[in-house]
Every structure is written in C-alpha cells, then in structure tokens.
C-alpha cells in the first residue's frame, strides 16, 4: 500500500504506537532485563531498540542524514521508568521530524544505512513493520513469562472461538 498523505500516515502510525504502548504497559518492571537466552535482546533492549531505530535510523535518513543508530543497551536508559521515558522521548523527537514532511516529501528518495535509495513512503512503511515485528517479539517474551497480554484488536482468538460456540 502506497503512503500518499502524511496526515493519514501519522494517524495510522499513532494507532500502531497505541497498540505497542498497551503491551508495554503490562510489562512487570522485574522482567525488564529478562531475555529468553543469554546474548539475546532483553525486554528493555527491545523497547530501547524500537525507540532508537525510529529516531536515529528512520528519522535521520528521511532527513537526508546518515544513520546514527548505535545499539540499544543500558547506557541509553536503565530501569523501568527510564526505559519508558526514553521510548516516549525518542518517539516524540521522531514524530516532530515526520510532522515536518509534506505529501510531496513522501515521493522523494532517501538512503538506507546500506546506501540503497528508497522512496520515503516505503521507508516509513518499513518503520511500521519494524515496530510490529518487535512488538510481536515482546508478546512472545511476555507469554513465556506467563504475563497476561492485551489482545491486539479487542478479542483474543480464544474469546472469538468461545463466542462462536455460545451462539
């Protein structure tokens, strides 16, 4: 799907972020440094990664700058409150950049970190896919920890099946 209108994109992207925020809100602080095995992203790493990539890779390259993403470790933010603050702060910084784009800007090219030219609207679409990908990983992490997670779109699969059986 081609993105041709920044206002519509920002509304859509806001809904993507609302779903991510609903999931992050149920993370128990005691699990922020948990990973399913050594050497893999922790829950906090996942959250910092979404924020840092949005701001320092996607937003910077859309501006015509080089990618300045440099990882997602604890040096960026440590502890539950600090990680959430970092996540929100980097999102607001990126949004300010995205809000400055015109509909015409969506059709120009920017360079990925691999120096491949890409149309800005396609790069924005990739950014949303990236967030959704990491949100899915957070769902799996939390399910492994038996943390009840919010359904994506209202009802869970089990609730839909139950409703169909009760008719």
Domains and CATH numbers, the chain: 6-165 (1.20.120.450)
- Average pLDDT in the 113-126 region? 98
pLDDT at site 164: 79
pLDDT tens readout for residues 130-152: 999 999 999 999 999 999 999 87
pLDDT score at 163: 76
How far is Cα 112 from Cα 120, in angstroms, rounded to an integer? Answer: 10
Q: Which residues make Cβ contacts (< 8 Å) with residue 68, sequence separation at least 6? A: 56, 57, 60
- Sequence-separated contacts (24+) of 40-46 with Cβ below 8 Å: 41/72, 41/137, 43/138, 43/141, 43/142, 44/74, 44/77, 44/78, 44/80, 44/83, 45/72, 45/73, 46/72, 46/134, 46/137, 46/138, 46/141
Burial class from Cβ neighbours inside 10 Å (0-12, 13-18, 19+) for residue 84 reads buried
The predicted model gives 146-164 an average pLDDT of 81
pLDDT of residue 162: 78
What whole-number distance in Å separates Cα of residue 55 and Cα of residue 22?
A: 21
Q: How many residues in the chain?
A: 167
For 46-63, what is the mean pLDDT? 98
Tell me what pLDDT residue 160 has: 77
The arithmetic mean of pLDDT across residues 52-58, rounded, is 98
């Amino acid at each position: 799907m081609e993105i041709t209108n920044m206002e519509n994109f920002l509304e859509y992207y806001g809904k993507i972020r609302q779903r991510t925020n609903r999931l992050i809100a149920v993370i128990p602080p005691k699990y922020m440094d948990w990973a399913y095995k050594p050497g893999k992203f922790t829950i906090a790493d996942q959250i910092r990664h979404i924020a840092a990539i949005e701001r320092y890779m996607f937003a910077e390259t859309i501006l015509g700058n080089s990618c300045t993403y440099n990882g997602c470790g604890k040096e960026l933010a440590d502890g539950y409150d600090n990680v959430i603050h970092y996540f929100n702060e980097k999102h607001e910084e990126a949004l300010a950049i995205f809000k400055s784009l015109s509909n015409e800007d969506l059709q120009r090219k920017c360079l990925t970190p691999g120096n491949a030219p890409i149309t800005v609207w396609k790069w924005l679409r990739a950014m949303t896919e990236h967030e959704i990908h990491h949100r899915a990983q957070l769902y799996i992490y939390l399910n492994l920890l038996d943390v009840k997670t919010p359904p994506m779109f209202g009802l869970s699969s089990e609730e839909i099946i139950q409703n169909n059986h009760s008719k």
